[in-house]
Structure 1
Amino acid sequence: MLVPPPLSLYVHIPWCVQKCPYCDFNSHALKTDIPELDYIDALIDDLETDLKAYQLEDGHRSLHSIFIGGGTPSLISPEEIGRLLQAIEARIPFSPDIEITMEANPGTVEAGRFTAYREVGVNRISIGIQSFQDEKLKRLGRIHGRNEAIRAAQLAEEAGLNSFNVDLMHGLPDQSIEDALSDLKQAIALNPPHLSWYQLTIEPNTLFYSKPPTLPDDDDLWDIFEQGHQLLTEAGYVQYEISGYSKPGKQCQHNLNYWRFGDYLGIGCGSHGKISFADGTITRTVKVKHPRGYLNPEKPYLVQETQVDSDERPFEFFMNRFRLLESCPKQDFVERTGLPLSTIQAPIEWALSQNYLEDSGDEWQITEHGKLFLNDLLAAFVEEE
């Protein structure tokens, strides 16, 4: 029987000062002032529509986490972020230990601003630093410099938040091993409770895709990861997912809920949602992408609603779950897909025979060998037609 898992909320703010050449997110460069009053009103109305549509108005499910992403959410004033959070809490209960994260860019943060966001309810900030080297930041289209990046992390620590994250990339254009490790050492010196350290990838529909820069070769990328992972481990960080490192107890709860096949509502331009129901239904949603359409009162917010069929659920479950390095309780598969273990007996036995997984009785654990052949492992759970 499917047991509805923890529920999170993703809020998308679509505007940026300018579009970065590597970014394939739904973000739009500012051409005029942000219509923040109208947009916050629309977000609240979008949430109300979802709560009614998916019968979540009665308070039987509470919010486990909120993530305000973008775009650049720190372009929205603390007052309006506070109004949004008050409106959300008035419509759906917050769990006592709710994590409320907001993304921020160093170039849009003024002194004291993090404190203002904390005072209206944000208890975790994720800072998009990407690099501490001015030349690399310029290549990435970032509007901040090294000093602003360092100051932003210091402000986040001084603001008295529960936690903060530093986003850092490696494998940048013409980046040497020494440059990449220098960035990482600077990030570690700032002592963030959480560090997202990930490799730059060139995505379709980006400027870098149409005009590819020269990136480090595979040998250098492996050396960067291997040496960087050792630096992080020695500094007390624990890798708990592919690109996520944290001090003990400071994992991002919102991301954990994604990877554990949890539920989440998505409000705002282009946001995605996933909702499970006790009758065994799992529904995915997508909202209208462009701000102009999203703010048009004549149009619905929802542009796509699909059901996750039973034969798709094993792949979706493990595609998310195997991002995490923790073991996977077998009961989680049963409760979050609504399927019996017999459904996946054949691919599990094959994965065990290949030394991709270990079976401890109640849990599965992906092996080091399995991580190297993750695509092969996941392919085993795809239903053949």
Structure 2
Amino acid sequence: MEIKSFYMHFPYCIKKCNYCDFFRSVNHQMNFELYHQLLEESQIKHVKLLDQYHSSMNKLKTFYLGGGTPSYWGQAGIIFLEKFFKKNKIIFEPDYEFTLEINPGSNLASDMAGWSDLGVNRYSVGIQSLNPFFLKILDRIHSKQDALQLIETLAKEKKSYSVDFILGLPYSQDHKRDICFELAEVLTFDPDHISMYILNVDKNYPYFNSLPEEEWIVDEYLLASSFLKNNGFVHYEVSNWAKKDKFSKHNLNYWKLGNWTALGPSASGNLFHGLNGEGIRYTWNNEKPSYYLEHLDNKKHKLEKLFMGLRTSYGIDPEDIFSKTELELFINIVGKWQKAGFANVAGRIVSLSDRGFLMLNSLLDEVFMKITTF
């Protein structure tokens, strides 16, 4: 089985943002030598695992370098990956997508030519906000000017890039944050793709008591989505909007439950095999060249197919997921969703509206409550 997508995790950051729950190591003296050794030792076990499941990853359609802040890897990372690809006989398909996550202020400009020569043809920029007040609240190390300079550079170099924003920020209701104003400023630099994530934190978050009301967050999300769609973007996944033909190929593979490999601290890969959706998920240890293995049975596969499918505008075909008895119950549920404005039905395909995306977890709870055999 030829695997076409590969995720690699770079764990280092200059500073820990107060809201981030991804695995990262805050270190001003990043130990690349130790990290390289971990990747090389992990890859030896990785190849054995893939062999065990009759899989390989020699010709990639997508490669995603995430983190952390992988742009800080710089020339050391470019050299390492060049050797890594050569040693493991990894090449890219003609229409490949190679994404590099970057943050404003991470000195990408000096390394951009090297990353491009390596094969990077898409950038994901972690801006989060263009309002200096909210950047400070989020503990971001960059300024608004840093952000604008970076995307201006990407635009001038005619690079394909995505911009990340966070919604539901502390004090955003009190300060009447204007997300559409921020988006409009970014759109003057013609990005291909926008991601917007609703802040999700626990009660220990330092600004937990200053978070906006749920109704404010709903309005902010719907307003931002409408603004982007009116400016030519397609809302193709809960948190993602893109120009036509500029959807994230790598992430679409996740949401469509394709196979992907992964390497690096905390990174997870999926290998589905067999006709009934059985497979494995492996997650790498944060500090050692070892992984945790989870076996995926048909029931888990159906659950993920339902959840992932409803996350996207492609939706689901319920007949591919539910038994005949379950299907009748689900159709009744969907009828109620339609009346409430949460769902759309086109032939056999069920998809969610913008408001339905916001209600996804609650809608799934209703499915599990009423279809007890699922």
Report if the CA contact (8 A) 1:57-1:92 is conserved. no
CA distance in 2, matches of 1:44, 1:197: 34
Question: How much does 1:38 deviate?
Answer: 3.7
Amino acid at match of 1:119: D
Matched, 1:316 2:299: no
Aligned residue for 2:313? 325
Out of 274, 278, 290, the position equivalent to 1:301 is 290
Question: How much does 1:168 deviate?
Answer: 1.0
Amino acid at match of 2:220: I
**CA deviations over 1:78-137 (Å, ceiling 9, x no partner):** 352353155236434433222111111102124343333112211111010011121211
CA distance in 2, matches of 1:246, 1:152: 19
CA distance in 1, matches of 2:70, 2:373: 42
Aligned length: 358
**CA deviations over 1:281-301 (Å, ceiling 9, x no partner):** 310111112xxx33xxxxx42
Report if the CA contact (8 A) 2:62-2:250 is conserved. yes
Matched, 1:348 2:348: no
Q: How does 1:200-349 map to 2 (within 5 A)?
A: 200-203=199-202, 209=205, 212-278=208-274, 281-289=278-286, 293-294=287-288, 300-302=289-291, 304-328=292-316, 333=320, 344-349=323-328
Report if the CA contact (8 A) 2:165-2:195 is conserved. yes
CA distance in 2, matches of 1:94, 1:41: 24
**CA deviations over 1:173-216 (Å, ceiling 9, x no partner):** 11144433322222222221011122222147xxx625525122
Q: How does 1:361-380 map to 2 (within 5 A)?
A: 363-368=348-353, 371=357, 374-375=360-361, 377-379=363-365, 380=367
Aligned residue for 2:50? 54
Gaps of at least 5 residues in structure 2 are 338-342
**CA deviations over 1:215-244 (Å, ceiling 9, x no partner):** 222232233223222221221111110110
The 1:86/1:319 distance shift into structure 2, 3 A limit, reads farther
Give the secondary-structure state (helix, strand or coil) at the position aligned to 1:77.
helix
Report if the CA contact (8 A) 1:240-1:246 is conserved. yes
Aligned residue for 2:340? none
CA distance in 2, matches of 1:323, 1:236: 20
Report if the CA contact (8 A) 2:270-2:280 is conserved. yes
The 1:370/1:174 distance shift into structure 2, 3 A limit, reads closer
Q: TM-score, structure 1 length as denominator?
A: 0.83
Identity of aligned residues (%): 27
Question: How much does 1:54 deviate?
Answer: 1.9
Report if the CA contact (8 A) 1:266-1:272 is conserved. yes
Out of 153, 162, 165, the position equivalent to 1:165 is 162
Report if the CA contact (8 A) 1:24-1:203 is conserved. no
Q: How does 1:9-20 map to 2 (within 5 A)?
A: 9-20=6-17
CA distance in 2, matches of 1:244, 1:27: 24
The 1:212/1:10 distance shift into structure 2, 3 A limit, reads same
The 1:250/1:183 distance shift into structure 2, 3 A limit, reads same
The 1:344/1:47 distance shift into structure 2, 3 A limit, reads farther
Report if the CA contact (8 A) 1:12-1:268 is conserved. yes
Question: How much does 1:6 deviate?
Answer: 5.9
The 1:86/1:251 distance shift into structure 2, 3 A limit, reads farther
Out of 95, 99, 102, the position equivalent to 2:97 is 99
